[in-house]
Chain A
Amino acid sequence: MSVILEFKDFGFRYTGNKEFTVRDINFRIRHGEFVMLSGPSGGGKTTLARAMVGLIPHFYMGEMEGSVLIDGVSTKNKEVKEISRTIGYVFQNPDNQIFMTTVIRDVAFRLEFMDLPKEEMINRVRYILDKLGIADLMYRRVETLSGGEKQKVAIAGVLVAQPKVLILDEPTAYLSPKSALGLMKLLDRLNKELGITIILIDHRMDLAIQYVKRMIVLYNGRIVLDASTKDALETALDKLYGINIPTISRLYHIFKRWGYNPPSPIIEAEDLSRYILKEVVKA
């Protein structure tokens, strides 16, 4: 697949800071990937997200090195509005994203600059709400929604503009376990059915482990790991700075240290249990 997003020797120092927040950033993301961008707080994740959507260099003041290319064109030569048609950004807190009174008005907001006929706008909103399984919320008032529902409305508001890439900044932080799991399944579907490239910023791996194919880890503003999820959990645990490692993967490594050889750090709990019964406690 072709490259949709590329960082080339990228670095950024915010005005007023002495140090660069991120530096020597090089990676490419291809159409249809499902990537997790991770690392401890303050590592530079949000700065990279801002660069992906063009807020750096167009909105945040500072010194930028290198370049960020979207479909081969530097973000320096694109307006934020133009970039937002390719790259959708979902904020951590849906309350910062939703600002109209009803679901339909909020989701339609992004279409209002596109000069679409009203009928077409409503159809598009309905299509996306339907895809997200929240068609019944269309005419609801925003303040009556639960946290999980708000999160989906926020995502609908971004998806309605039909971006090719969806960036989500810690989307599960405030969701209930059920809603968080539902969101991961939804992202997986958007990725598989609509081919949307997903970039998930998070430091929790437990929910995403089955879906995320690649891990990029930022630490102190540098990329310290860029590997498949399996390789990351198998051989690079020491580079997963600040990340909450799934329990199963932690057990995998403890058994390894004890001299056993469990099949994979990404394994269903039942399979690990069976392995323990067979090899470890020899029941």
Chain B
Amino acid sequence: MILVEDLWFTYGEDFILKNINLEIGKGEFIAIMGDNGAGKTTLVKHFNGLLKPSKGKVIVDDLDTSKASIYDLSRKVALVFQYPEKMFFSETVWDEVNFALKNFGFDEDYRIHRINKVLALLWLDGLKDRSPFTLSGGEQRRLALACALAWDPDYIVLDEPTAGQDKYQREILTKIIQVLVEQEKSVIIVTHDIEFVAELKPRVVLMYNGEIVADGAAEDILSNEKLLRSSGLYPPSVIDVSRPLFDKGIIKKPIINIHDFIAALEMLARG
């Protein structure tokens, strides 16, 4: 479990995080949402000790991030950032993942086992001899994720995973997240991609101006237009279509994604 208790953070002047309290369980799937500058990335950088609280505590399982080493924390928590192409330096995809594992001192048999496993999970097994620099943007994103997953961390944090991804890559990403959640991994995505969140319906933690302003089910938060707009986000587009039906009492609650909306209309059509 990741436990955040009364976390405050500042680089020196204003507080970028204020009074954050949050519990993330094993196997949970969470979206941390909010406008640019809300503090989302600053918050998740506390999960693996990249940043230390100015006040308050962050505990990962039995490790206090203020005291534990980045090495120990990184074993448990993997962070995958927005621009993967900046972090590659190996000659092949295989070597890139292997390097990540060597860092933790794993023996060769285990490394080979893990590399094969993550490359298969991330649909990269056909590309293991390719240079990371010749991969497409989407493949590079998946390679960065493969490196992060190589040593089997329990908590996986993805910063804006859908940014710049085409439809196919979003579908692949959805499947990967589903597999990880099935494996009891905690998956935390930092995103302002409301349509993606509406489709996958994780628990949503909404941030604004350094604070958590809502924490709950996607269906409740994503259908709360006022709350979203005051946090600098827009509701998913299906809401605009489904809201008038809700207002007229035809559906029981506003619907946030197209599949649920279609299902509801089919029910209505059947009577």
Pair from one complex: yes
A residues lining the B interface (CB < 8 Å): 40-42, 92-93, 146-148, 170, 173-179, 181, 203, 206, 242-248, 250-251, 254, 258, 269-270, 272-274, 276-277, 280-281, 283
- Bound CA span A245–B258, Å: 12
Task: Report yes or no: B234 in contact with A41, Cβ–Cβ below 8 A.
Answer: no
Point out the residues of chain B lying under 8 angstroms from A246, CB to CB.
Answer: 237
Q: Mark B228-260, 1 if CB is under 8 A from A, else 0.
A: 000011101110111111001010000000100
What mask results when residues 151 to 169 of chain B are scored 1 for a CB within 8 Å of chain A, else 0? 0000000001001111111
Tell me whether B170 is interfacial, beta carbon within 8 Å: yes
Q: How far is it, in angstroms, between the C-alpha of A146 and the C-alpha of B232 when the chains are bound?
A: 14
Interface-side segment among B7-15, B98-106, B261-269: B261-269
Q: Give residues in B with beta carbon < 8 Å to A.
A: 35-37, 82-83, 136-138, 160, 163-170, 192, 194-195, 232-234, 236-238, 240-245, 248, 250, 258, 261-262, 265, 268-269
Given known A176-B232, A247-B237, contact A283–B250 (CB-CB < 8 A)? yes
Interface of B is mostly: helix
Assess A242 versus B168: contact at CB under 8 Å? Given A176-B36, A176-B232, A179-B36: yes
A251 near B248 with CB under 8 A, answer no
Residues of B within 8 A of A177 (CB): 35, 192, 194, 232-234
| CB <8 Å contact, B167 and A203 | yes
A residues near B237, Cβ cutoff 8 Å: 206, 246-248, 269
CA of A142 to CA of B191, assembled, Å: 24
- Please name 12 further chain A to chain B contacts, defined as beta carbons within 8 Å, in addition to the given A177-B232, A283-B250, sorted by A numbering: A41-B137, A41-B165, A92-B164, A174-B163, A177-B194, A181-B234, A203-B166, A247-B236, A269-B240, A273-B240, A273-B244, A281-B268
In the bound complex, what is the Cα–Cα distance between A170 and B233 (angstroms)?
20
Minimum C-beta distance from A275 to chain B (A): 10
- Pair A270/B240 contact, Cβ less than 8 Å: yes
How many A-B contacts if CB must be within 8 Å? 103
Whether the pair B195, A247 counts as a contact (CB closer than 8 A) is yes
Bound-complex Cα distance A175 to B258 (A): 24
User: Which of chain B's residues have a CB closer than 8 A to the CB of A41?
Assistant: 136-138, 165-166, 168-169
Specify which of B166, B236, B242, B248 lies most central, judged by the most chain A CB atoms within 10 Å of its CB.
B166
Min Cβ gap A274→B in Å is 7
Is the Cβ of A276 less than 8 Å from the Cβ of B164?
A: no
Q: A247–B238 contact, CB under 8 A?
A: yes
User: Which residues of B lie under 8 Å from residue A179 when comparing CB positions?
Assistant: 36
The answer to whether B36 and A281 have CB atoms under 8 Å apart is no
Q: Contacts A40-B166, A174-B163: A281 and B241 contacting too (C-beta < 8 A)?
A: no
Q: Give chain A nearest CB distance to B90 CB in angstroms.
A: 18
Known: A203-B167, A281-B268. A93 touches B83 (CB 8 A): yes
Residues of B close to A277: CB separation below 8 A = 244-245, 248, 250
Interchain CB contact under 8 A, B166 and A242: yes
19 A-B pairs (CB sep. < 8 Å): A41-B136, A41-B138, A147-B36, A173-B164, A174-B82, A176-B192, A177-B194, A178-B35, A242-B166, A244-B167, A244-B170, A247-B195, A247-B238, A250-B258, A251-B241, A269-B241, A277-B245, A277-B248, A281-B268
Tell me, rounded to whole Å, the shortest Cβ–Cβ distance linking B13 to chain A.
12
Residues of B within 8 A of A254 (CB): 262
